[in-house]
Chain A
């Protein structure tokens, strides 16, 4: 009986209430269509503050699509329509009067392929703050250093801040992109397979970094790599065919999943 009890309360809810926090992100019966094709079916997912939530599942299962609904990057894709709601900090981000620019300042995003701008390392980091109106050189210098330190990149680049960011290695570029996001001081950082283009060593560094960032940020990470989800996340959500099959504490998902499909996926029977 006791076991069924545990199953009924959503585990992320349990984790959140034990930390005494509110959910920062709540997706409620979210449907998403690309034209006529329905990519997400009634997604319900609550994400707690200052935790790492991993979204796993086979290619095309909708995990990246879902991630992109959280900062409305799907708005850029033509023909996308959305039903249901996503609440961030209690506010439905699909409300008509929501300022998308402000939303994206609060919900940063790191992409699959490192995408530094073709400018210097310094300018890459200062880009966001500058666009948001910070002009003072001393303040920008401070932000750049702080962000690069947070992203564990400062020591490697401090002597060449003014050379092109495109000269960095792939792993460094990705950490630069993370630093660039941190420079605008978001509350939530979305990561869309951030290590899939990196070698194992660079991957390890990014993972360590993500673990550090958990102290200050809520992180939602999409990953193809199940070991990665197991290593770094607190909560894991398994997507299949545009639906969430199961969301639970990561250790439970990987040792004792509730659903057969989850078990089949993590043991490598498909995907």
Chain B
């Protein structure tokens, strides 16, 4: 057997596998854009993007409720999940002894491995019922009378917050571990307390990694479908942008596609692909942000 030929074959084979990833992304992108663009062209980009009404049966395709719903839910997930995740990471790096760390780390790994439908179930029964109690009980006087079920932006936000914890914990953990030990020693040697050292030196020194962790968490929350469908209520209405909106049922971009694709007619299908385009653009923007951050860190 010719050694050089063997070498060449292996190289070509590996090249093909590598290029497959690029092709897949391109293909999916082109496909989604081709299928979705006609709706934008027919009804106008602003009308589709910012149209407040989604009513496929009468041919009204406004994606705005789902855009707001998605951003709203993601924001809540991050507001809850990022501080918690960072807290766990700091605890693991700086405070926990080996025995406790051995308990927490596998738990976090397990959290990452739980299928999203199980998160959905947990959200449906545990979290939703608590929210429903709130809606019917102490908050009943302040909320619109149809907010009774607990299916809401907040419920979805809480579930997503738990789901993005592993991402945020693991990446900020790595970032914190990479902070030179000298910084910590230098700070402590100045008579600065451990806590002050953590939040004035260690966390700022790990800042770019922590931001990357949060952005990846956002990506995870944006793309999550099943768990969100199970707890958000799926009403294609723009949630009110004050605190009562937290308890409003809403719908995410992902849920919109997954729920309606099964029975959509041709134009309706195109509108769902348009939803996909919006989601695609969100993810592209996020990924570029991460790349940008990593590159800037590399230069430093």
For A11, the chain B residues whose CB sits under 8 A away are none
- Within B251-268, the residues touching A (CB, 8 Å) are none
In the assembled complex, 5 residue pairs joining A and B whose CB atoms fall closer than 8 Å, in A order, are A101-B191, A101-B193, A117-B183, A119-B204, A184-B190
Interface residues of A (CB under 8 A from B): 71, 73, 76, 101-106, 108-109, 111, 113, 115-119, 127-128, 131-132, 177, 180-181, 184
Query: Which of these, B182, B184, B192, contacts A127 with CB under 8 Å?
Result: B192
Distance in angstroms from B118 CB to nearest chain A CB is 38
A253 to B34, CA, bound (A): 86
Are A73 and B188 in touch, CB under 8 angstroms?
yes
Which of B180, B185, B192, B205 is the one whose CB lies under 8 Å from A73? B185
- The complex places the Cα of A125 from the Cα of B34 at a distance, in Å, of 59
**Cα distance A108–B190 when bound, in Å?**
6
Q: Apart from A101-B193, A108-B189, what are 10 other A-B pairs with CB-CB below 8 Å?
A: A73-B188, A73-B189, A104-B188, A117-B186, A117-B187, A118-B205, A127-B187, A127-B201, A132-B191, A184-B191
- Residues of chain B within 8 A (CB-CB) of A101 are 191-193
A-B contact count (CB 8 A): 68
Q: Are B205 and A117 in contact (CB under 8 A)?
A: yes
Whether the pair A111, B182 counts as a contact (CB closer than 8 A) is yes
A76, A116, A128, A177: the one within 8 Å of B192 (CB)? A128
Residue of A nearest to B197 (CB): A131
Q: How far is the CA of A117 from the CA of B204 in the complex (A)?
A: 10
A102 touches B191 (CB 8 A): yes
Residue of B nearest to A106 (CB): B191
| Neighbouring B residues of A116 by C-beta, 8 Å | 186
Answer whether A76 and B185 are a contact pair too, CB < 8 Å, given A101-B192, A127-B200, A131-B192.
yes
Least distance between A166 CB and chain B CB atoms (Å): 9
Do B205 and A128 have beta carbons less than 8 Å apart?
A: no
A111 touching B190, Cβ below 8 Å: no
Closest to A109 in B: B189
A104 (CB) vs chain B CBs: closest residue = B191
Chain A residues within 8 Å of B204, by CB:
118-119
Chain B interface category by residue count: 10 to 19
Q: Are A111 and B186 in contact (CB under 8 A)?
A: yes
Query: In the complex, which residues of chain B have a beta carbon less than 8 angstroms from the beta carbon of A131?
Result: 187, 190-193, 196, 200
Q: Kindly report which residue of chain B lies nearest to residue A186, judged by CB atoms.
A: B191
Given known A-B contacts A106-B191, A131-B200, A132-B191, A115 and B205 have beta carbons under 8 A apart: no
Q: What's the least CB distance linking B169 to chain A, in Å?
A: 23
A115 & B183 in contact (Cβ 8 Å cutoff): yes
Q: Compute how far the CA of A102 lies from the CA of B188 in the bound complex, rounded to whole angstroms.
A: 11
- Hey, which chain A residues are within 8 Å of B196, CB to CB? 131
- Smallest CB-CB separation from B188: which chain A residue? A104
Assembly CA distance A181 to B200 (angstroms): 17
In the complex, A114→B62 CA distance in Å? 59
Q: How far is the CA of A102 from the CA of B182 in the complex (A)?
A: 20
In the A-B complex, the 3 residue pairs with the closest CB atoms: A105-B191, A115-B182, A109-B189
- In the assembled complex, the CB of B13 is this many whole angstroms from the nearest CB of chain A, namely 45
The minimal Cβ–Cβ distance linking B107 to chain A, given in whole angstroms, is 23
For window 150-191 of B, CB contacts with A under 8 Å fall at: 180, 182-191
User: Digit string of B95-133 for contact with A (CB within 8 Å is 1, else 0)?
Assistant: 000000000000000000000000000000000000000
Separation in Å of the A51 CB from the closest CB of chain B?
Answer: 21
Contacts of B200 in A (CB 8 A): 127, 131
Interface members, chain B 71-109 (any A CB < 8 Å): none
Instruction: Please measure, in the bound complex, the distance between the C-alpha atom of A109 and the C-alpha atom of B185, giving whole angstroms.
Output: 9
- The chain B residue sitting closest to A71, CB to CB, is B189
- A210 → chain B closest CB, angstroms: 17
Max chain A C-beta neighbours (<10 A), residue from B188, B189, B201 = B189
Chain A residues, Cβ within 8 Å of B186: 111, 115-117, 177, 180
Contacts of B192 in A (CB 8 A): 101, 127-128, 131-132
| Cα of A115 to Cα of B189 in the assembled complex, Å | 11
Q: Is the CB of B191 within 8 A of A127?
A: no
Contact B190 A128 (CB under 8 A): yes
CB–CB B201/A104 < 8 A: no
Alpha-carbon distance between A177 and B190 when the two chains are bound, in angstroms: 10
Among A103, A111, A117, A119, contact of B191 (Cβ-Cβ < 8 Å): A103
Q: How far is the CB of A16 from chain B (nearest CB, A)?
A: 26
CA distance A71 to B189 in the complex (A): 8
In the complex the two chains form, what is the Cα distance from A105 to B187 in whole Å?
11
